[in-house]
Amino acid sequence: MDKLASMLHMTPAIFWMVAKVVIVFSAIMLLASVWTWVERRGSAMIQDRIGPNRAAIFGKIRLIGLSQLLADGIKFFFKEDLVPDDANKGLFWLAPFLAFVPALIGFAVIPFGKSFVSGGVTYHLSVLDPGNGMGLLYPMAIGGMAVYGVLLAAWSSNNKWSILGGMRASAAMVSYEIGMSLAVVSIFMTTGGYDPADVIKAQGHLPWAWNIVRQPLGFIVFFTCMYAETNRLPFDFAEGESEIVAGFNTEYGSMKFSLLALAEYSHLMTASALVATLFFGGWQVPFVQNPTVMLSVASFLLKMLFFAWVFVWVRWTLPRFRYDQLMHLGWKVMLPMSMVNLVFHAWRMSQGH
Amino acid sequence: MFITFALITLLGALGMLLQKNVIMAGLCMVAAFFGVAGLFVLLANPVAAALQIIVYTGAILVLVLFVIMMLNSHEEEKAQAPHPIQRWASVVFVSALAFGAVKLVLGSSGVKSLAASGEAMPQAMTLQKLGFALFADHLLGFEVAGLLLLAAMIGAVALTKRNL
């Protein structure tokens, strides 16, 4: 690694940083685009259909429908890039980026593998090293920024249905943020730290010591709120074909639409990674005290992709909620539940457990 | 780095004042908040930076924009007929405020600790320290603020929902 760095005229530290940024963000973008395929094949499987399997490279290589991804990408690039006459042009351009960038950079603080020592230097497998002082506040802050993408996409299209969709989605996101934050706070309390590395270390390698067993209520609240935060069914109020056409992205086409869709899936990846880190031991391998680095990365990826699959699974299992049901669930069920969780753990800690 | 964040903050604030479109003004304010968050990080206080973004940009400003979008959609605000006396009064008032603020900042103990180096340098802020500051050092003020906010919330609900 040092040799490669010196060939590129960089110090090893900077080289490692650049390598991490490139690897992590390209991996998330790749996974996000692959997940559009998983979503379509998964929905087909659940609904007893076949799903996309016709696209083929040179008419031959089908790859169980994976070449559909390539076809979609090419199609998005060559579509006409329409901007409505009455749209606020600048914001209409900016909104997809405002949706995509927070979804991508929220991942930066999550460790995706065990830190290792090589040549006397410790290398951490997360873009922001542990001890940066932001810890798990960072993905929450960035997650809060995701609202702007939806809100601005909706407002700048200057379309009634879009604005309605954007309003509903932003209201849902803001209300569910409170319950989610309280669930995370009770994890901070029992861990005694707020750095994701601390949270993972505190959970250990035994599955019954993970936070899912210690705080099942917190897990339920957090996971439910993640559906509202990522705008996925059953809480995807930005859209709603039967009520408000396609919602906030009605006026979007071509690559801009593609960016909005990719933002949704990158957000899903970040959310699953957060669930795996907070409640399922992050990169810890069950029953293995000192896993190798590769094994820890594989374990983390497995957990993350499992939750990403659960997001798809739930989408095609549950119907969309009604708006008042969503607000009812958010304020009158999730918020009290996470408060009970918080007070219960505070009480247990005061009793010296 | 400082110049970058300071410029983002100042340009955002200026843009907020000069924009006629309310939504654009709100977005300029988001930029200004981001600049302030960056400045907090430079001051070795990443917790304040994260809380700044979570609370101000992630929640308060979203709600403000939400209400603005709900009330009027795309009309730009018409300029009122200017009153010269208002302008002069505001200039006097703002310069007095700015003078007071600068004097307060320069006179505070925080400025002296900026010159410290080596061992005397203060450690970076963590969430634990923030907790101690809120719940041990300033417990009374914290609780009073909480009570005030609760009262404000109940007042808002009582005003909007007259027939509960």
Cα–Cα distance, A234 to B128 (Å, whole number): 36
Within 8 A of B47 by CB-CB distance, chain A residues are 133-134, 137
The residues on B that touch A, with CB distances below 8 Å, are 23-24, 27, 30, 44-47, 49-51, 53-54, 57-59, 62-63, 65-66, 69-70, 73-74, 124-128
Contact assessment for residue A98 and residue A156, using Cβ atoms and an 8 Å cutoff: no
Tell me the pLDDT of chain A averaged across its residues: 83
- Of A173, A170, A195, the C-alpha closest to A184 is A195
In this prediction, residue A111 has a pLDDT band, given cuts at 50, 70 and 90, of: confident
Alpha-carbon distances, residue A108 vs A22, A128, B93 (angstroms): 11, 6, 44
Contact assessment for residue A110 and residue A277, using Cβ atoms and an 8 Å cutoff: yes
From the CA of B81, how many Å to the nearest CA of chain A?
27
Within 8 A of A171 by CB-CB distance, chain B residues are 66
Is a pLDDT exceeding 70 seen at residue B79?
no
B70 is written with which tokens?
């709900």
In this prediction, residue B75 has a pLDDT band, given cuts at 50, 70 and 90, of: low
Among chain B residues, the shortest Cα distance to A193 is held by B128
Cα–Cα distance, A36 to A315 (Å, whole number): 13
CB contact under 8 A, A144 and B62: yes
State the average pLDDT over residues A158-185.
84
Residue type, A334: M
Q: What does the pLDDT read at residue B78?
A: 62
- What's the angle, vertex CA A57, arms to CA A54 and CA A62, rounded to 5? 45
Could you please report the per-residue DSSP string of chain B? -HHHHHHHHHHHHHHHHH-SSHHHHHHHHHHHHHHHHHHHHHTT-HHHHHHIIIIIIIIIHHHHHHHHHHH-SSPPPPPPPPPHHHHHHHHHHHHHHHHHHHHHHHHSHHHHHHT--GGGSPPPP-HHHHHHIIIIISHHHHHHHHHHHHHHHHHHHHHH-S--
State the average pLDDT over residues B11-22.
84
Helix intervals (H) in A48-105: 67-78, 89-105
B17 is written with which tokens?
């004042």
Interacting residues of B139 by C-beta distance below 8 A, sequence separation 6+: none
In this prediction, residue B146 has a pLDDT band, given cuts at 50, 70 and 90, of: very high
Return the H-helix or E-strand segment holding A117: strand A116-118
Q: What does the pLDDT read at residue B76?
A: 57
Alpha-carbon distances, residue B101 vs A73, B8, B23, B90, B97 (angstroms): 54, 21, 29, 16, 6
Alpha-carbon distances, residue A337 vs A61, A214, A326, B41, B73 (angstroms): 51, 15, 15, 34, 37
User: Between A and B, how many residue pairs show a Cβ–Cβ distance under 8 A?
Assistant: 79
Cα–Cα distance, A321 to B18 (Å, whole number): 42
Q: What does the pLDDT read at residue A29?
A: 87
Cα–Cα distance, B57 to A22 (Å, whole number): 28
Return the H-helix or E-strand segment holding A122: strand A121-123
More confident residue, A267 or A121: A267
Within 8 A of B45 by CB-CB distance, chain A residues are 133
Percent over 70 (pLDDT), chain B = 85
Q: Lowest mean pLDDT: which of A71-80, A179-188, A242-251, B124-133?
A: A242-251
A215 is written with which tokens?
């705080």
Note the residue count of chain A.
353
CB contact under 8 A, B126 and A155: no
Within 8 A of A166 by CB-CB distance, chain B residues are 69
Mutation target vs A (from B52, B69, B73, B135; most A CBs, 10 A cutoff): B69
Is a pLDDT exceeding 90 seen at residue A162?
no
pLDDT tens readout for residues A18-31: 888 888 888 888 88
Q: Is A123 helix (H, G, I), strand (E, B) or coil?
A: strand
User: Which one of B30, B47, B66 has the shortest CB-CB distance to A167?
Assistant: B66
A121: number of Cβ within 10 Å: 12
pLDDT tens readout for residues A188-239: 888 888 888 888 888 888 888 888 888 888 899 999 988 888 877 777 776 7
Interacting residues of A128 by C-beta distance below 8 A, sequence separation 6+: A108, A109, A134, A138
From the CA of A151, how many Å to the nearest CA of chain B?
8
Taking each helix axis from N to C end, the angle separating A160-191 and A137-156, rounded to the nearest 10 degrees, works out to 180
Q: Facing residues of A61 across strands?
A: A57
From the CA of B126, how many Å to the nearest CA of chain A?
6
The DSSP call for residue A118 is E
Q: What does the pLDDT read at residue A92?
A: 85
Within 8 A of B46 by CB-CB distance, chain A residues are 132-134, 137
CB contact under 8 A, B74 and A135: no
Cα–Cα distance, A207 to A215 (Å, whole number): 13
pLDDT tens readout for residues A42-88: 888 888 888 787 777 777 777 777 788 888 888 888 888 888 887 77
Q: Side-chain half-sphere of B65: how many Cα atoms within 13 Å?
A: 31
Within 8 A of B64 by CB-CB distance, chain A residues are none
User: Which one of A134, A170, A174 has the shortest CB-CB distance to B46?
Assistant: A134
User: Which one of B23, B47, B70 has the shortest CB-CB distance to A133?
Assistant: B47
User: Which one of A138, A158, A177 has the shortest CB-CB distance to B74?
Assistant: A158
Q: Is A283 helix (H, G, I), strand (E, B) or coil?
A: coil
Q: What does the pLDDT read at residue B99?
A: 92
More confident residue, A229 or A4: A229
From the CA of A307, how many Å to the nearest CA of chain B?
25
Is a pLDDT exceeding 80 seen at residue B140?
yes
ipTM over 0.85: no
Mutation target vs A (from B126, B135, B149, B153; most A CBs, 10 A cutoff): B126
CB contact under 8 A, B58 and A163: no
- Of B3, B31, B127, B33, the C-alpha closest to A132 is B127
Alpha-carbon distances, residue A235 vs A169, A228, A247, B96, B162 (angstroms): 8, 5, 13, 50, 30
Interacting residues of A44 by C-beta distance below 8 A, sequence separation 6+: A50, A51, A52
CB contact under 8 A, A141 and B54: yes
Mutation target vs B (from A160, A178, A182, A194; most B CBs, 10 A cutoff): A194
- Of A326, A158, A168, A146, the C-alpha closest to A252 is A158
